[in-house]
């Protein structure tokens, strides 16, 4: 028999191994989780929503996962503007997979919502411009083409012309999709 470490390096190469001879359980930890593909889409257009109903922001990207076990890491950097007259006002930017909302909106408890508060008396106009940066790890469980997009809505409607929009301040917004292998 062979003693431990009895074969010199290079004696057995990949061609010497039988198909499926090396299983995931025999690999060193940390071997999984590789990026299999990446898609990035940028947008510099302005879009506005004056209602409490979600509407497309104009930022979307599609990816076709290579396996149902793959995860999709969604990364968004989106410039927005939130505007109204007096009083407090809020809005939401959320990530959707197709028509399915996958991040919380203004009623949720996480950081995907946007809020501003203007308590100054006599102020007739207020605007907040900022950048919404977020990531979300999704498990779509499909090998079909899948579209991810952002949608936006106001928290409520009132006088003073509230709206939420994607600003066109000269800096593009982007969405990046990474397929992560299991």
| pTM of the predicted protein model | 0.74
Residue-wise pLDDT for 118-172, tens only, equals 444 455 566 777 788 889 999 999 999 999 999 988 776 665 556 777 765 677 8
Residue-wise pLDDT for 2-60, tens only, equals 566 666 666 666 666 676 666 655 555 555 679 999 999 998 888 888 887 889 989 99
**pLDDT recorded at residue 130:** 78
**DSSP assigned state of 136:** E
The answer to whether 82 and 164 are in contact (CB under 8 A) is yes
Segment 175-182 shows an average pLDDT of 94
Residue 137, C-beta contacts closer than 8 angstroms, at least 6 positions apart: 71, 72, 73, 74, 180
**CA 165 – CA 52 distance, rounded (Å):** 12
């Amino acid at each position: 028999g062979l003693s431990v470490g009895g074969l010199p390096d290079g004696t057995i190469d990949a061609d010497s191994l039988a198909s499926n001879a090396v299983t995931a359980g025999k690999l060193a930890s940390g071997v999984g989780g590789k990026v299999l593909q990446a898609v990035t889409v940028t947008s510099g257009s302005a879009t506005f929503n004056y209602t409490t109903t979600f509407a497309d922001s104009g930022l979307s990207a599609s990816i076709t996962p290579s396996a149902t076990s793959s995860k999709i890491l969604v990364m968004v950097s989106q410039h927005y503007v939130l505007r109204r007259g007096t009083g407090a006002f809020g809005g939401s930017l959320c990530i959707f997979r197709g028509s399915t909302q996958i991040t919380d909106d203004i009623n949720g408890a996480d950081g995907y919502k946007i809020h501003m508060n203007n308590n100054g008396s006599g102020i007739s106009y207020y605007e907040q411009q900022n950048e919404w940066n977020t990531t979300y790890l999704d498990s779509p469980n499909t090998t079909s083409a899948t579209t991810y997009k952002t949608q936006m809505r106001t928290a409520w409607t009132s006088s003073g012309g509230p709206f939420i929009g994607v600003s066109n301040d000269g800096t593009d917004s982007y969405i990046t999709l990474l397929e992560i292998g299991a």
